[in-house]
Amino acid sequence: MSSGITLDSIMQAPSPASAWVLATDSAESGLDSEVVLIAMRRRIAEMRDSIRRGLASSAPSITGMVGWNAQGLWDAPDVLNAPLLKRVQAYAMAVNEENARMGRIVAAPTAGSAGTIPGALLGVADHLGLDDEQLVMPMVLAAGVGKAISRQMFISGAAGGCQAEIGSSAAMAAAAVTELLGGSSRACAHAAAMALMNTIGLVCDPVGGYVEVPCVSRNAFFAVHAVSSAQLALSHLESFIPPDEVITAMAQVGRMMPLELRETAEGGLAQTPTGLAVTARMEGAGVNG
Ligand code: SF4
């Protein structure tokens, strides 16, 4: 994806936004659209495979902190009678538990946030009985949103806290789900903006430096967050702050965030007695996060 795409330009583009993103990117980069579509189909297939493997396994990660959560949720009774919620959460955790087991996943945009888009997009699609081919163009839009964000701010927890990482994946997923469900370009951009603005300030404090706790459950939460953003945008609710200004605000907060809360494991959950005990145990075993 080229860098001329912004959230504001997506908002003003003719609908569907994905077609505009694809055409704009092709014009700017010279990359054939068909090559992009083939790559997106491959990523969707990889996401689906990681969900399948994740739901089929309860093997613990190297630290023993995660590994059984997705399967446990998937097999549990649906006590809220909310099958979409359960599916979205289980898919997201399945992907991130695969990541924690060093399984193959699609970084979207990072490995730590890899479960959010599959959880939200494939979760909604499967809930509604939609075909994977219908996900290809929403995935193009998700990539365009990711590129728009990365033009203005960092997308890694080390650079800008978890808001940058999971906020980006939630924004990408929110726009994609909105388009999948027939939303306009304007609605897609606002879905992304609402997902981002409600992630601002989230710190990166992984226990032991491993992308496991809080990362696995965080993807479940923010996959739902993305679906919530899509629902608001499809109901014509909008971000009061224009989308690109939300990105700027998040980048500013990221620059203000102390180093201790940016993937160094020197603050937050990583510094709890339980977090420190995991770190000591892994260091004792000669393994570093
Ligand atoms: S807490 Fe840090 S490592 Fe975990 S998902 Fe968020 S940014 Fe990634």
pLDDT at 1: 45
Q: Does ligand 1 come within 6 angstroms of the Cβ of 121? A: no
Q: What percent of the chain is modeled with pLDDT above 70? A: 98
Q: Give the Cα-Cα-Cα angle 196, 132, 165 (nearest 5 degrees).
A: 25
Q: Across residues 259-267, what is the average pLDDT?
A: 96
Say if residue 19's pLDDT is above 70: yes
Mean residue pLDDT of the chain comes to 96
pLDDT at 3: 55
Domain 7-283 fold: 2-methylcitrate dehydratase PrpD (1.10.4100)
Q: Are 229 and 222 in contact (CB under 8 A)?
A: no
pLDDT at 286: 85
Of 28-32, 41-45, 119-123, 240-244, which range is least confident? 28-32
Of ligand 1's listed atoms, the one at least distance from the Cα of 96 is 5
**Token output for 153:** 């701010």
Q: Across residues 206-227, what is the average pLDDT?
A: 98
Expressed in percent and rounded to 5, the helix, strand and coil fractions of the chain are 65, 0, 30
Ligand 1 center to residue 96 CA distance, Å? 11
Q: Does ligand 1 come within 6 angstroms of the Cβ of 112? A: yes
Q: pLDDT per residue over 108-162, tens digit each?
A: 999 999 999 999 999 999 999 999 999 999 999 999 999 999 998 889 999 999 9
**Token output for 284:** 């004792």
Q: Does ligand 1 come within 6 angstroms of the Cβ of 219? A: no
pLDDT at 4: 83
Q: Across residues 100-108, what is the average pLDDT?
A: 97
Residue 125 to residue 105: CA distance in whole angstroms: 19
Taking the domains of the chain in order of start, what are their residue ranges?
7-283
Q: pLDDT per residue over 170-203, tens digit each?
A: 999 999 999 999 999 999 999 999 999 999 999 9
Three-class SS of 211-266 = CCCCHHHHHHHHHHHHHHHHHHHHCCCCCCCCHHHHHHHHHHHHHHCCHHHECCCC
Q: Does ligand 1 come within 6 angstroms of the Cβ of 227? A: no
Ligand 1 center to residue 192 CA distance, Å? 19
Q: Does ligand 1 come within 6 angstroms of the Cβ of 166? A: yes
Q: Does ligand 1 come within 6 angstroms of the Cβ of 155? A: no
Among all chains, which residue has been given the structure tokens 């903006």?
A: 193
Residue 247 to residue 206: CA distance in whole angstroms: 24
**Cβ neighbourhood burial of 132 (10 Å; 0-12, 13-18, 19+):** middle
Q: Does ligand 1 come within 6 angstroms of the Cβ of 147? A: no
pLDDT at 181: 98
In this predicted model, which residue has the larger pLDDT, 32 or 287?
Answer: 32
Range 8-13 contact pairs with CB under 8 angstroms and sequence separation of 24 or more: 8/189, 8/242, 8/243, 8/244, 9/148, 10/141, 10/144, 10/145, 10/148, 10/175, 10/185, 10/188, 10/189, 10/192, 10/243, 11/185, 11/186, 11/188, 11/189, 11/190, 11/243, 12/185, 12/186, 13/185
Confidence of residue 2 (pLDDT cuts 50, 70, 90): very low
